[in-house]
Structure 1
Amino acid sequence: MKFPLLPLSCAALAVMLTACGGSSTPAVVPPVPDPVPPDPVPVSYADASAGTSLELWNRCEVMHAGPVQNQPGSQADEKGFIRAITQETYLWSSEVPAIKASDYPTVVAYFNALKTPKLLASGHPKDRFHYSYPNEVWEALSAGVELGYGISWNAGANQVPRQWRIAMVDAGSPAARAGLQRGDQLIMIDGEDFIYRGDTAAVARFNAALAPASANQPHTFTWWRDGRLFDTALLAGSVNALSVQSAQLLDTAAGKTGYLNFTSHNAPAERQLYEAMTRFRDAGVKELVLDMRYNGGGQVTIASQLAYMIAGPGASSGKVFMAYATNGRLNPGRPTSFIDRAVGLGASQPLPFGTVLPHLDLKRVTLLTGPGTCSASEALINGLRGIDIEVRLVGGQTCGKPYAFIPMANCGTTYFMVQYQGTNQKGWGDFDEGFAPDCKVDDDMSHALGDPAEGLLATALRLNAGASCASAARMGGRSGVPAQAGTDAGSSGSAAAAVVQVRSPLKEIAILPERR
């Protein structure tokens, strides 16, 4: 999840108006904790400038253009900012090892090392959500524009032998223009065996091809479809993908059902969700199937608005969608409520501020989930369950990210570190291993998303009509198993040393665009 950490008032930050006003630019003010006595045993960080994050903010070794004026500084100043912001705001600041800043050649390398080394019971790293981007990349991504091919992947366990298949192709993308389809299996990249090559050098080449740094790097991909091999040459481009990929009305045994394929909690989603849910409301939808199997998260505000549109004011009025726990130094701020109006998030076609949101007043919603269901998507599950809305999960275990943070821009780079753990109305938020599905069904790559015969959707429709998990999935030609908590926790955040990147880190993070 993503949300903003702006505890200082705009009056106190007159020189930082872009962070406090209605700008569509992501917040750039570093979060600052409430004054508290120093830690009894302060963590020692050697070879970085001393000072608070606010004192060291934007003291840069190299000047960068941006909404806030840089000040001349040094790499030690930039590392000092990272040290200070970690100590002040990082959720697990007490677990960060003492390291020498001078042992790391760059500020980003130093930042990458300043996180907890602890592991979860599954063996996955406790902190799998520690990233940075150049400012301009982050600003484009947060507006829904990503450099790539327009492919979402089904990567299974993401280990050799790999069985990567295309899960979804964005309309108008390079992949769509090349004729690629859901279900196509990736066999080779630039002539190298993608299925069996697992050495670090090969993985680095695969990552460079799958997530190119610029648009002028052509790569050749070999695919398997319907018993034959074929090649495509792809050149990455700016993909402006829809957050709501489709919204359909289905006549089912359980009554009028809405199917919503929702892939990202970003700024453009505010209008797209409003339009889809208005259509569902006007059609008298009685059941909702929300396909979020490839939704890695985004803004908590969007998740809160969607939760309100599902539950309505009767169930959500005066209730907490998400409250926040911190490291004890950072002010947790006010909880996020169930938001019933548009906040006017920056997008090419923003929904006007204050627009009243539609609501379906449902007592139950069915989500299609998998390892790609992360962050703000999981916050939606937890927030609705916190007000006793039945949330039924069909598919696979979610990724496990009950955490949130605010992007922190400093000297041309935007940093993301976990600063909050989110909890619902009932005070619960311990899902760092993910949510287990109520009915475990493998992703069905043989049907298009939204096809009522597709395995997950077919199972959900039959469950809504009263069938059991096993019979609902079996009737769809698949085997359904009621899942046990803690199983099937596959994730692209594996602890393996050389892992092909399934999707950009942005797909697994989120921000709340409001002052906290």
Structure 2
Amino acid sequence: MDDNAIASSDINDFVWKAMNFVYLYQPEIPDLANDRFSTTDEYSDYLDDFSSPEELFESLRFQPIDARFSRIYSNYFDLQNQQQGLSLSSGIEFNFYLVPGSNTDVFGAITLVLNNSVADNLGLERGQIFRAVNNVPLTVNDVDDLSDPIYQDSFTLNFADYDNNGTPESADDTITLNGESASLNKEAYTENPVHLAQVIDLPDATVGYLMYNAFNSSFNNELNAAFSEFSTAGVTELVIDLRYNGGGAIQTAAYLGSMITGQFTDQVFSRTFYNDNLQNLNQDFVFTNSIEDGGSINSLNLSKVYVLTTNRRTASASELLINSLKAYIDVVVIGENTVGKTQASRTVYDSPGLFTTENINPSHTYALQPLVANSTNVNDQLVPSTGLIPDIEITETPSTFRTLGDINEPLLSAAIGDILTGDRPLGRSFENLTLIKANQSLSKEQIMYIDN
């Protein structure tokens, strides 16, 4: 088949050829077979059947395994900004739940307020409940409609009070608007993923607590600085909070693993395996004692670590960290079953090298972020597609969204209890509420990528 781009569908031509060459599941997709087309005209007719590059790309994803992870971007500058932690953001993340006793009415609960963001400067707090947006009560249709005001650049949250009426059952719980509101505008925001690093002094233990929200290579030095503080304070136990961390760069995960440990330098942290076309790119990521262009790593030399997780947020590189460390040290997982994403992606440009930004086709700004490799630990073990099962199962709910780092916050409290007494509680869930959707900001998509 002629390799010349077909002028009538230049972008579609890029999409198909890129997926044919780099996609991890290329052998599973009949339309990506090397012998799929016998003539250029047949290939051209095939591409012309799709109304957009997005439609073609969606048709080439391997379902259901890759129902949500591979992505196409019409403007690769947006993708590059995302990978550096830059986005338009109001500074809040939230979950949506069904109002008790209703199949259609919805309320939201703020799960995270980003530091120095619009929401933070307005004084919004984790755990606040809102029942309406722009004075319109929320329904299930709003949650799934990206044109709804809450997904726009400006909106007003109308807050409510949650009353459990003094009973453990949720059926009689009520949610009542309280007249308070906050108007938010999304602004350009760069998130430092080191959300909170603190030292907790306990009897017979000095605990380091790190709330880490993305494996962002632009903030490797900030991550390392947090571990310098832990080392100086004499931290003997460590809690890594990844409950809202959707992943990021594999190399940064290897750095974090090296900071937690330190005794495994040059041993394999994780391995990546590409498709048959890219076997030369298979790579071992190793534990290391230094960050490239960043100096020596501050290591704690621990043989045990606690990791906090949630079901719809803890994914990809977060799971990689847990899976890779488990081959070497004791990893106690507290929270919920993780997402179950073992594959890594790379950015693919319409350039001769595909993975490079040199000589990119100037006629468009499309780029792909497809799954290109599987990632295992040193024992060739994948993260199960069903996710990683917690050792201590706790489901956080609106009434338990306490201040992060508070020793009484349920997930951190469970870690501290295990540290002090070894007493592991049975699974705990507080209100029996139906979680409709866990919001993910642009910077919180579930990705694990290999830096190009």
- CA 1:439–1:189 in 2, change beyond 3 Å: closer, same or farther? same
| Distance in 2, Cα, partners of 1:74 & 1:156 | 48
- The residue correspondences of 1:105-116 to structure 2 (distance < 5 A) are 105-116=51-62
Q: Does 1:400 align with 2:340?
A: yes
Superimposed CA distance per residue, residues 465-493 of structure 1 (whole angstroms, 9 cap, x where no aligned partner)? 2332227x8xxxx669xxxxxxxxx999x
1:224 corresponds to which residue?
A: 160
| Distance in 2, Cα, partners of 1:186 & 1:96 | 44
Report the AA paired with residue 167 of structure 1.
T
| Distance in 2, Cα, partners of 1:419 & 1:89 | 6
- The residue correspondences of 1:19-418 to structure 2 (distance < 5 A) are 50-51=2-3, 74-98=7-31, 100-117=46-63, 119=64, 126-133=66-73, 134-155=75-96, 162-194=106-138, 196-198=139-141, 203-206=145-148, 209-212=149-152, 217-225=153-161, 228-312=178-262, 314=263, 316-331=264-279, 332-343=281-292, 353-371=293-311, 372-386=313-327, 388-410=328-350, 411-418=364-371
Query: What TM-score, normalized to structure 2?
Result: 0.81
1:425 corresponds to which residue?
A: 378
Taking only the aligned residue pairs, the percentage that are identical comes to 25
Query: Is the CA contact (8 Å cut-off) linking 1:378 and 1:401 kept in structure 2?
Result: yes
Task: Provide structure 2 residue ranges, at least 5 long, that are not aligned to the other structure.
Answer: 33-45, 163-175, 351-363
Q: CA deviation at 1:160?
A: 5.3
Report the AA paired with residue 190 of structure 2.
N
Query: Is the CA contact (8 Å cut-off) linking 2:345 and 2:449 kept in structure 1?
Result: yes
- CA 1:479–1:186 in 2, change beyond 3 Å: closer, same or farther? closer
- CA 1:106–1:500 in 2, change beyond 3 Å: closer, same or farther? farther
Superimposed CA distance per residue, residues 340-390 of structure 1 (whole angstroms, 9 cap, x where no aligned partner)? 2112xxxxxxxxx1501011010000001112111111110011112x211
- CA 1:220–1:479 in 2, change beyond 3 Å: closer, same or farther? closer
Superimposed CA distance per residue, residues 420-449 of structure 1 (whole angstroms, 9 cap, x where no aligned partner)? 110010110142221111101122634100
| Distance in 2, Cα, partners of 1:211 & 1:175 | 15
Report the AA paired with residue 141 of structure 2.
G
Q: CA deviation at 1:259?
A: 0.5
Q: How much is the aligned-residue C-alpha RMSD, in angstroms? A: 2.9
| Distance in 2, Cα, partners of 1:252 & 1:161 | 44
Query: Is the CA contact (8 Å cut-off) linking 1:89 and 1:329 kept in structure 2?
Result: yes
How many residues get paired? 402
- CA 1:359–1:143 in 2, change beyond 3 Å: closer, same or farther? same
- CA 1:377–1:157 in 2, change beyond 3 Å: closer, same or farther? farther
Query: Is the CA contact (8 Å cut-off) linking 2:396 and 2:429 kept in structure 1?
Result: no
Query: Is the CA contact (8 Å cut-off) linking 1:152 and 1:294 kept in structure 2?
Result: no
**Bigger shift: 399-408 or 266-275?**
266-275
- CA 1:397–1:155 in 2, change beyond 3 Å: closer, same or farther? farther
Query: Is the CA contact (8 Å cut-off) linking 2:304 and 2:329 kept in structure 1?
Result: yes
Q: CA deviation at 1:308?
A: 0.6
Report the AA paired with residue 406 of structure 1.
R
| Distance in 2, Cα, partners of 1:211 & 1:336 | 38
SS of equivalent to 2:297: coil
| Distance in 1, Cα, partners of 2:415 & 2:98 | 24
Query: Is the CA contact (8 Å cut-off) linking 2:94 and 2:439 kept in structure 1?
Result: no
Between Structure 1 and Structure 2, the one with more strand by share is: 2
| Distance in 2, Cα, partners of 1:136 & 1:364 | 40
Give the counterpart of 1:510 among 428, 448, 451: 448
SS of equivalent to 2:206: strand
Query: Is the CA contact (8 Å cut-off) linking 1:144 and 1:267 kept in structure 2?
Result: no
**Bigger shift: 125-134 or 231-240?**
125-134
- CA 1:245–1:505 in 2, change beyond 3 Å: closer, same or farther? closer
1:18 corresponds to which residue?
A: none
